[in-house]
Amino acid sequence: MRLRYCLLASTIVACALAQPAVSAPWTRGFVVRDYGFAFRYGGRPGVAETAPAADCARGSATHFNDEAEMRTALSRQPWRSSREIEAIIAPPGIEKARLPTYVRFYVWGRAVSYRGWRKGIETYVNPFAAHDPGQPQVVSRISDGFDLDGNPKTGGFTSAEGVRGIDNALYRAWGCDAPFRNPASGTLDLRENTQMQEGLYTVVIRISGNQDPRNDSDATVEIGYSPDKIVRDARANVAPDYSYRIVKSEQYTRLKAKIRNGVVETEQVDRLHVPRIGWFPDQMGDADFHKGRLSLTIAADGRAASGFVGGYRKWLDLLAENTFAQTGAEQGIRDHEDAVGLYYALKRNADGMTDPKTGHNTGISMAYRIAAVPAHVVDPAKPAQVRRLPADEERNKGFETVKAAMIRAVTTRTVQDVPLGTGEGQFPAMEKTIADLPSRDFFLKTFDAPGRLDDQGNVVPLAPDAKPDRQVNINGPATVASGNAR
Amino acid sequence: MRNKAALAVFLVGIMCGSALGWAAGSDQVVKLRRLSEQEYRNSVGDIFGKDIAVQGMFEPQIRISGLVATSTAVLSVTPAGFESFSKMADSIGLQVTDAAHRGRLVPCAPKSANAPDDTCAAEFFSRYGRMLFRRPLTADERQARVNLAHTMTRSSGDFYGGLRYGLAQMLQSPNFLFRKESAIQAGGKALKLEPYSRAARLSYLMWDTTPDAELMQAAQTGELNTAAGLDSQVERLMASRRAEAGMRAFFADMLELDTFDTVSKDSLIFPKWSAAMASSAREETLRGAIDLTLRQNGDVRDLMTTRKTFINRNLAAIYDVDFSFDGEWMPHEFPLASGRSGLVTQVSMLSMFSHPGQSSPTKRGVALMDIFLCEPTPTPPANVDFSAINDTSGPLKTVRERLMAHATTPACASCHTHSDPIGLSLEGFDTIGGRRLTENGRPIDLSATLQGKTFRDGPGLGRYLHDNPKFPACMARKLYAYAKGVDTEEVDASTFKTAYQAFADSGYRLRTLIKGLVESPEFFDTQVAIKQVSARQ
Amino acid sequence: MALPRRTILRGMFQGATAVMAVPFLDCFLDGKGQALAATGQRIPTRFSTFFYGLGLTTSLWVPKKAGLDYETTVQLKPLEPFKKKMNVFSGMRVMVDDNPNFQHWSGNAAIATGIAPTKVSQFDSKTIDQTIADTISRGTRFKSVAAAASGDPKHCYSSLGGANTLPAEPSPLSLYTRLFGPGFQDPSSGAWKPDPQVMLQQSVLSAVTDERKDFMRNLGAGDRARMDQYFTSVRDTELQMAAELQRPDVVAKVAIPAAPGEMPVNYALPNVRAVTPLMARLGALALATDQTRVFNLAISEPGSNIFVPGDPLGYHVTTHMEAIDPVLGYQPHVAQYNIYSMELLASVLQELDAIPEGDGTLLDHSLVFAYSDQSYAKIHAVDGIPIMLAGGASGRMKTGYHIAGGGNAVSRVGLTAMKAMGLSVDSWGKGSMETRNAYTELLA
């Protein structure tokens, strides 16, 4: 018999008061309504995503925010003339263009996409070949997440409940990145949850045991995708008590757990697969935590659950998922983040999954926060798959291609061209946009591009470099623990 | 009027007498029933195909003595309603004769696509006239449409344009929009329904739509006037899957499921409620009722006690049970402890007869007494003080406590003791039909005493109604009134005594009741003194 | 009335030779006039849409109080002169069901059709203005007219369904030429042609009336009374059609101005500000002189590229780039752009309200449906897209209300608008947005 029936039935008293726990199989399901990086916001609620606070002493990152920020970013390339920089900042004759704002957006975008130590290096595929623009880091000592290595002396964070040695290096690295800083207003955090609730994807959790849902020494936790869209109620909140199938795709994980007073703690496993966060279809996929754990606190009445799932993730995967959601430039200019800064911040803070050959840490400790409402999580009656539209497949292929190029570039330290036809390698989007710009020729001549146009106007790849760059050494400034240099 | 005279130029001889015997002067129109929305939609769908869209507003319905069907015999058509019928008729006429449909729907090819062809037009109007008017057209009626189409074709240069307007004319004719039931004097005071009226009465009762070709044939040959012929048609109609549509329409009317269109819930307190939830709940009730009574051929009294139902994903969320995702609907059996028992504890009944923000034992009680026991409750006096009922901040925490404080005033007591007990036993369900055992922190008393019988919770009420002989008797009266378009309260049980006995003897099988009713001699007979049903609010 | 019969007949069907018996014509036109005279002045009710991109800022526009006498918020301030003549709808939801939420598309397409679009840049059905035009535009020269104030003919969210939208006039001059250039007939002086469709419908009704005597035979007294009512209803509809065959009364005292000159029409805000009221004025004149009864105006596309000269980002990019101000709690530049949208809406309403007509103004005899594509553009949210209905629809719409939608489907607003326009429609929308539930409290 299902637990909820037991509670609802006229035998409620017998059920609730029986001590010790009634030995009966029970199941509780939840659908995730809030999913995002476990970045503890240090400011007052409802105020700012950018203001200085306990987490970020100098506020959020402000890359590409205005003309001054742009000038700073472009001045880091020794090969750019000041004339070029000024032309980029204010393209001559822009007032004559029909879409001046798009002209500028695309010109800025192309400029920030080529910030290598020499001309011709696409920055988002080759972040290692660009100067570190700096990334403000979290200075707070309190963090959400887990002590993943079982060592209270590492990690450098203490949880709000007083657990020492919390490993959440991603928070330190990225916690001051503007679009993820405050769950109430951070653009990408909001966008991610809005898209999820509107049906981009659904994450469900099922907890079961044989003792008592609040105290069970031998419980099981399952987490994975559901092919069923989240149902929202008349007030647009995620509606409770709806049924969702759980599919045993690659992102499905089953864990042993212990429950004490409603707090569910799973075992720590070598590989913990869960759906990752995203706001575009091509970001959907596997989070693949190493040394993963999950912890959830269930409300006494069973009507809510909140907690974390975490572990170490390959930090290059995280970089790719965030950068290539659209293009590095688009996301950077819109959301004031610099993927180069994020790259160096990850590299500095990487704290796990050490490569035995190189001795480098390929992983970074992190967690996702979870808030969920009660649901009926059921096994599919017929085989079911995670939703994906045919149109998404093409985008996903592009994402995987450009991600592979970036990983190849960073791991071999060999400059890679941008694969054409991918989001990052979109061409000639800028060239088309500036067609009616009087200073068009200047930009066409000066700017690097992911490809070139042949005599017939067809897009063709660039000729490969005779001697690929290797072992580039960048002697730029790096900001470690304080705010952005500006 | 001048335009009348003008039209007479081409509408030749419309005033001339009718050719067929049944329409002769000695006939009497015993019933004139306006098509309901569903009857209209089903008829158009069956005659022209489901791909002909019917879009527009239908006139609001009223319920008389528990049935909307009864009101179809007293309502007319308002100007706004006619305007809408007129637009729908035009749109249907256009669709039927457009390039995409004419190949299938126009039975002949004109000699020329842009000139009148009276022969082809006559064939077209004879065919659809017979279907739409549920009887053959008289020669004059046919000729009037042919002439209309002829003129229209001449002026538009399009043969199909002529058909379009002629068809649109028939679709807004009272002969289509009203089911005219005519009877012939059969000696003494008895009147016998003429065969086409019989066919229509049978078809709209059993299939909720216009008679099919075979039934029309049976009317034409006179087969329907013989006991054997009638029986064979009734058996045929009953054996068809379409009988489910007929009984769906009956249950929807009897259970007042049209009320759902106006049900709204307070989204602050009950955000789970939505329009989709309402249509799901309606469908659950109809599916369950049809399954039990027709598919399983079960005892209709079990509608009050069964724990078996059909749910979709929305309803599973209110009932708080797993949905299997094996199709849109799944059968579900509630456990004993769920408190659920048949129709009375379904989301539909519980939510329709509640307030937006809280349950109402009185509304539930009044409705269920009327629907299932044919016992209407008098309307309350105008000067009632409701303050005690609505004050949740005072010491009275549960609806029951507050209701009792009000219902014990002498002026109110007699009615409340009549209807409240049923509602009070359903207090274990909130206004959207969810289960609850406490209210504002206090446990809810689910017991009730009615007419000397004490029961508790949904199963107790279900058993009470199941065992109450008034329930099957009420249902039979309503089915009879529904079929004939008369007032339930004026149906004397003695009129279908034999049929009712057969129903009881069969163990209350709905199929037996339908067959018994339509084959009993009085079903198609009537007395000369036809009493007009009066609309009562 | 004196109508050139031959002209009418020849004009009735394109190219077809019309040969018609004279009595037929008589029955169309004569004998109805008297009944008509009793109905008095007939000012048609007009429908307009106003599209503005990128929504508003929730914290700055949604009044706290619902119902009448709500407080004027910062972003509704420009509309204050029309507060008593309009309704605002907050908290309305776009429910996409199994369809994606297409950025800068799903919101406006859903509001215009009641259906969440299955494809980007396509409508899954006829848009509301066209549905309304089907009913109200009989007999007018243009079924509907559209204008695009930032100069792109594609900026028109009026469609018969699918990817095609009806092209908008991209400049005041082209709009003027279309409306008042060659082919313009001043209805108060020139010839006016009744809609031949209406005449045909009318003769169908006459044929229904002709069944009366036959049908009444053998009816009891009660049924006779019912059928009397039925045939009275038929007669009412006939009279209504007869009214449609009459030349409309142009009661507004308007003069058609000279053609506007060439002027820059693009996204620069000063230009949009100059062009919008001018287009609105031309549209208003077209409505007042019954050239059309449906006028659609868009100030930009969804994801508006309108920009203030000197602002390097412009409206759309700003919604994404601009940080939320730590102190204010919103995006200050975006908020200013929002206000520009409302000022432009006010300038349109001003033009409609400036034309006196009968006992009120053109605005009083209109319904203006104003809507957008997003609620919180920064994250492409669609819940709570601001919608306004301005004008009294000839007394059929009660005004002055703030309706706090509380999560209701946006289609309720569309259904309410259609009912106010006198359409016979019982439900609108699809999926979760299918509704039979108009805001009846607003319908007079």
Predicted local confidence at residue B18, as pLDDT? 32
Residues A93 and A140 reside in one and the same domain? no
pLDDT beyond 50 at A134 = yes
Contact indicator for B490, B469 with CB cutoff of 8 Å = no
Q: Identify the weakest region by mean pLDDT among A436-445, B17-26, B245-254, C127-136.
A: B17-26
Residues A254 and A319 reside in one and the same domain? yes
Arithmetic mean of pLDDT over chain B: 88
How far apart are the CA of C75 and the nearest CA of chain B, in angstroms?
27
pLDDT over 70, % of chain A: 90
Distance CA C342, CA C73 (A): 12
Contact indicator for C391, C85 with CB cutoff of 8 Å = yes
Residue of A nearest to B457 (CA): A10
Predicted local confidence at residue A465, as pLDDT? 65
Domain of residue A100, residue span: 67-134+389-461
CB-based contact A46 C329, cutoff 8 Å: yes
Residues A313 and A443 reside in one and the same domain? no
Residue of C nearest to A94 (CA): C312
Supply angle C-alpha A386, A391, A394, rounded to 5: 100
What tens digit of pLDDT does each residue of A368-396 get?
A: 999 999 999 999 999 988 877 777 888 88
pLDDT beyond 70 at A478 = no
Q: Give the nearest partner residue to C233 out of B6, B78, B148, using CB atoms.
A: B78
Cβ–Cβ contact B261 with C under 8 A: yes
Q: Is the peptide bond before A20 cis (omega within 30 degrees of 0)?
A: yes
Region of A288 (left: φ > 0; alpha: ψ -120 to 50; beta: rest) is left
In a domain, C69, yes or no: yes
Nearest CA to C201 out of C139, C132, C131 is that of C139
Token pair recorded at residue B286: 């109809």
Residues C327 and C378 reside in one and the same domain? yes
Contact indicator for B493, B507 with CB cutoff of 8 Å = no
In a domain, C337, yes or no: yes
Q: Give the nearest partner residue to A48 out of C311, C312, C324, using CB atoms.
A: C324
Boundary of a domain, candidates A378, A407, A425: A378
What tens digit of pLDDT does each residue of B356-368 get?
A: 888 889 899 999 9
Residue of A233, A246, A378 best to disrupt the B interface, most CBs of B under 10 A: A233
CB-based contact A5 B338, cutoff 8 Å: yes
In a domain, A469, yes or no: no
Cβ–Cβ contact A142 with C under 8 A: no
Predicted local confidence at residue A469, as pLDDT? 54
Residues A31 and A148 reside in one and the same domain? yes
Mean pLDDT of A222-227: 97
CB-based contact C206 B7, cutoff 8 Å: yes
Residues A288 and A428 reside in one and the same domain? no
Predicted local confidence at residue C85, as pLDDT? 97
CB-based contact C237 B86, cutoff 8 Å: yes
Residues C263 and C160 reside in one and the same domain? yes
Residues C302 and C363 reside in one and the same domain? yes
Residues A351 and A452 reside in one and the same domain? no
How far apart are the CA of C161 and the nearest CA of chain A, in angstroms?
22
Contact indicator for A204, A228 with CB cutoff of 8 Å = no
Report CA B408 to chain centroid distance, whole Å.
38
What tens digit of pLDDT does each residue of C153-206 get?
A: 889 999 888 888 888 999 999 999 989 887 776 666 556 677 778 888 888 999
Predicted local confidence at residue B381, as pLDDT? 63
Token pair recorded at residue A156: 């450098």
How many structural domains is chain A composed of?
A: 2
Distance CA B433, CA B436 (A): 9
Predicted local confidence at residue B380, as pLDDT? 67
Q: Tokens 């939510």 belong to which residue?
A: B351
CB-based contact A241 B437, cutoff 8 Å: no
CB-based contact A98 C307, cutoff 8 Å: no
Cβ–Cβ contact C383 with B under 8 A: no
How many structural domains is chain C composed of?
A: 2
Instruction: Name the percent of chain B in helix, strand, coil, to the closest 5.
Output: 55, 10, 35
Give the pairing of strands A253-260 and A216-226.
antiparallel
Mean pLDDT of B227-248: 97
In a domain, A484, yes or no: no
Residues C159 and C197 reside in one and the same domain? no
CB-based contact B14 C214, cutoff 8 Å: yes
Residues A120 and A140 reside in one and the same domain? no
Nearest CA to A115 out of A84, A87, A75, A68 is that of A75
How far apart are the CA of B28 and the nearest CA of chain C, in angstroms?
5
Name the band, by pLDDT with cuts 50, 70 and 90, for residue B6: very low
In a domain, A472, yes or no: no
Distance CA C28, CA C32 (A): 8
pLDDT beyond 60 at A291 = yes
Residue of C nearest to B85 (CA): C424
Q: Which residues of C touch A101 (CB under 8 A)?
A: 267, 305, 307, 311-317
pLDDT beyond 60 at A485 = no
Domain of residue C229, residue span: 18-40+193-244
Residues A278 and A426 reside in one and the same domain? no
Distance CA C185, CA C291 (A): 8
Q: Which residues 64-93 of chain A have a CB within 8 Å of chain C? A: 65, 67, 90
In a domain, C4, yes or no: no
Predicted local confidence at residue A151, as pLDDT? 96
Cβ–Cβ contact A34 with C under 8 A: no
Arithmetic mean of pLDDT over chain A: 89
Q: Which residues of B touch C91 (CB under 8 A)?
A: none
H or E segment to which residue A313 belongs: strand A305-314
Boundary of a domain, candidates C175, C209, C244: C244
| Chain A partners (3+ C-beta pairs within 8 A) | B, C
Predicted local confidence at residue A49, as pLDDT? 63
Q: Give the nearest partner residue to C314 out of A48, A95, A100, using CB atoms.
A: A100
Mean pLDDT of A322-328: 92
Residues C199 and C186 reside in one and the same domain? no
Q: Give SS3 for C352.
A: helix
Residue of C203, C215, C441 best to disrupt the B interface, most CBs of B under 10 A: C203
Residue of B nearest to C14 (CA): B156
Name the band, by pLDDT with cuts 50, 70 and 90, for residue A20: very low
In a domain, C342, yes or no: yes
Token pair recorded at residue A220: 């099981």
Predicted local confidence at residue B27, as pLDDT? 79
Residue of C nearest to B78 (CA): C233
Q: Which residues 194-253 of chain B have a CB within 8 Å of chain C? A: none
How far apart are the CA of B451 and the nearest CA of chain C, in angstroms?
40
Residues C52 and C112 reside in one and the same domain? yes
Name the band, by pLDDT with cuts 50, 70 and 90, for residue B384: low
How far apart are the CA of B441 and the nearest CA of chain A, in angstroms?
14
Residue of B nearest to C34 (CA): B1
Residues C227 and C98 reside in one and the same domain? no
Residues C68 and C184 reside in one and the same domain? yes
Mean pLDDT of B409-435: 86
Boundary of a domain, candidates C244, C267, C285: C244
Q: Give the nearest partner residue to A5 out of B271, B316, B337, using CB atoms.
A: B337
Residues A197 and A329 reside in one and the same domain? yes
Residues C83 and C27 reside in one and the same domain? no
Residues A252 and A296 reside in one and the same domain? yes
In a domain, A369, yes or no: yes
CB-based contact A234 B273, cutoff 8 Å: yes
What tens digit of pLDDT does each residue of B180-190 get?
A: 999 987 766 67
Neighbour count for residue A158 (Cβ, 10 Å): 17
Distance CA C152, CA C299 (A): 10
Residues C369 and C222 reside in one and the same domain? no
Residues A42 and A169 reside in one and the same domain? yes
How far apart are the CA of A233 and the nearest CA of chain B, in angstroms?
5
In a domain, A384, yes or no: no
Cβ–Cβ contact A46 with C under 8 A: yes
Predicted local confidence at residue C370, as pLDDT? 98
pLDDT beyond 50 at A14 = no
Q: Give the nearest partner residue to B155 out of C18, C225, C407, using CB atoms.
A: C18
Predicted local confidence at residue C26, as pLDDT? 26
Residues A109 and A199 reside in one and the same domain? no
What tens digit of pLDDT does each residue of B303-357 get?
A: 999 999 999 999 999 999 999 999 999 999 999 999 999 999 999 999 999 988 8
Cβ–Cβ contact B56 with C under 8 A: yes
Boundary of a domain, candidates A344, A378, A412: A378
| Chain C partners (3+ C-beta pairs within 8 A) | A, B
Residues C333 and C270 reside in one and the same domain? yes
Instruction: Name the percent of chain C in helix, strand, coil, to the closest 5.
Output: 40, 10, 45
Residue of A nearest to B444 (CA): A10
What tens digit of pLDDT does each residue of B132-168 get?
A: 999 999 999 999 999 999 999 998 899 999 999 999 9
ipTM of this complex prediction, to 2 decimal places: 0.87
Contact indicator for B341, B304 with CB cutoff of 8 Å = yes
pLDDT beneath 50, residues of chain C: 1-40
How far apart are the CA of C2 and the nearest CA of chain B, in angstroms?
17
Contact indicator for B27, B184 with CB cutoff of 8 Å = yes
pLDDT: which is higher, B384 or A364: A364
Q: Which residues of C touch B84 (CB under 8 A)?
A: 424
Q: Give the nearest partner residue to C324 out of A49, A67, A199, using CB atoms.
A: A49
Token pair recorded at residue B58: 């239908």
In a domain, C5, yes or no: no
Cβ–Cβ contact C100 with B under 8 A: no
Q: Give the nearest partner residue to C326 out of A51, A334, A389, using CB atoms.
A: A51
CATH code assigned at C144: 3.40.720.10
In a domain, C339, yes or no: yes
How far, CA to CA in Å, does C205 sit from each of B4, B5, B40, C236?
A: 11, 15, 20, 10
Q: Give the nearest partner residue to B28 out of C30, C32, C218, using CB atoms.
A: C218
3-state secondary structure B414-453: HHHHHHHHHHHCCCCECCCCCECCEECCEECCCEEEECCE
Q: Identify the weakest region by mean pLDDT among B260-274, B397-411, C306-320.
A: B397-411
Residues C29 and C168 reside in one and the same domain? no
In a domain, C1, yes or no: no
Boundary of a domain, candidates A329, A358, A378: A378
In a domain, C11, yes or no: no
Mean pLDDT of A316-345: 94
Name the band, by pLDDT with cuts 50, 70 and 90, for residue B383: low
How far apart are the CA of B364 and the nearest CA of chain A, in angstroms?
22
pLDDT: which is higher, A14 or B214: B214
Distance CA A307, CA A161 (A): 13
In a domain, A474, yes or no: no
